[in-house]
Amino acid sequence: MMIDGVEPIVAALGGLAAPAPAGLTGKVFTGWLAAPSRLGEVFVAFTGDGVQFVRPAESVHGDADAFAEAYRDRFGRPLRPADRAPAGLLPALRGRPAPSLRLDLRRLPDFERDVLGATRRIPAGQTRPYGWIAREAGRPRAVRAVGSVLARNPVPLLVPCHRVVRADGRLGDYMFGPAHKEELLRAENVDLDQVAAFAQQGVHYLGSDTTGVVCFPTCHNARRISPAHRHGFRTIGIAVAAGYRPCRHCRPGVEAASA
DNA sequence: ACTTTGACAGGGA
DNA sequence: GTCCCTGCCAAAG
């Protein structure tokens, strides 16, 4: 870890009277700016390595100083205004695909990084349960810890934690309130009414009897199953026992066999 | 439907 | 370091 030696040096550079080379600025200070998003105006902090922190202006009472303080509490570094946004940030905040967007999640604990990484892979317009994230992150039983991580998601919207929902079909909580979660999902065209209707009947997975594949209801494959060939299942185990195979796209996991 | 128990990573004492 | 406690859950009573 040669990085250990680099940080103090870089910090010392920040104290020199002469301006640091432009390329270093993002490593010494963190830039911030305000930008429009699907949650209204947001404050965004980023280094040269990517975006680190996003908070709706509303959540800090529109106060940029409060945002800077929250950032400092968490990352231990000061903020200075930035002149331009990192590549991809503005489209991403509007919910548009932005492959060029980079996130700086290096200093997070492994588990948090893995949880956020798995969450980031949920396609727009789809949802996954907390248990799915736990499994993708390599800790299938750390379901509740996943919730704890997402409650502190440093980069909401960019890591779409609003797409992580409860296994029973309810939406679950959201750092800025469940109403915003629902709003974001509906804006992505998730058919929440259909999900709720299925859940009402105890159905949490959908299979096609023509392909023999079973999916989460919001998977784009599931949404193409015609009602005539659609079968609902309460658990993935029941579907597998009926000869269905878990979809390779949405990867509904086989839950632990009940002894 | 509601309550209890299980499980677990992180943060604070 | 170690307990202790909490929390966007989940499955069983």
What residue spans define the domains of chain A?
3-88, 110-188, 194-246
Query: Is nucleic acid strand C under 7 Å from A156's C-beta?
Result: yes
pLDDT for the residue numbered A259: 30
Q: What are the Cα distances from residue A158, in Å, to A124, A128, A139?
A: 11, 16, 23
pLDDT for the residue numbered A255: 62
pLDDT for the residue numbered A130: 98
Q: What are the Cα distances from residue A178, in Å, to A7, A33, A165, A170, A203?
A: 39, 26, 11, 10, 22
- Classified by CATH at the fold level, domain A110-188 comes out as Arc Repressor Mutant, subunit A (1.10.10)
Q: Which two tokens stand for residue A132?
A: 């799915």
Nucleotide nearest to A113 (CA to C1'): B9
Q: CA gyration radius for chain A?
A: 21
- Angle at the Cα of A80 from the Cα atoms of A39 and A78, rounded to 5 degrees: 95
Scan for tokens 């529109």, then name that residue.
A62
Coil/strand/helix, residue A12: helix
Closest CA to A236 of A216, A208, A222: A216
How many residues can be counted in chain A?
259
Coil/strand/helix, residue A56: strand
**Strand B: residues with CB below 7 A:** A 109-112, 139, 141-145, 148-149
- Nucleotide C1 C1' to residue A156 CA (A): 34
DSSP conformation class of A32: E
Nucleotide nearest to A164 (CA to C1'): C8
- pLDDT in tens for each of the 259 residues of chain A? 333 333 333 333 333 333 444 555 545 679 999 999 999 999 999 999 999 999 999 999 999 999 999 999 999 999 999 999 999 999 999 999 999 999 999 999 999 999 999 999 999 999 999 999 999 999 999 999 999 999 999 999 999 999 999 999 999 999 999 999 999 999 999 999 999 999 999 999 999 999 999 999 999 999 999 999 999 999 999 999 999 999 999 999 876 443 3
State how far Cα A234 lies from the chain centre.
Answer: 26
Give catalytic residues of A, as residue numbers.
161
Amino acid at A180: H
Coil/strand/helix, residue A233: strand
**E strand or H helix at A242:** none
Query: Is nucleic acid strand C under 7 Å from A258's C-beta?
Result: yes
Query: Is nucleic acid strand C under 7 Å from A173's C-beta?
Result: yes
What's the rounded Cα separation, in Å, for the pair A194 and A201? 11
Name, in order, each residue with C-beta under 8 angstroms of A135's C-beta and a sequence gap of 6 or more: A253
- Nucleotide C6 C1' to residue A150 CA (A): 15
- Nucleotide B9 C1' to residue A47 CA (A): 27
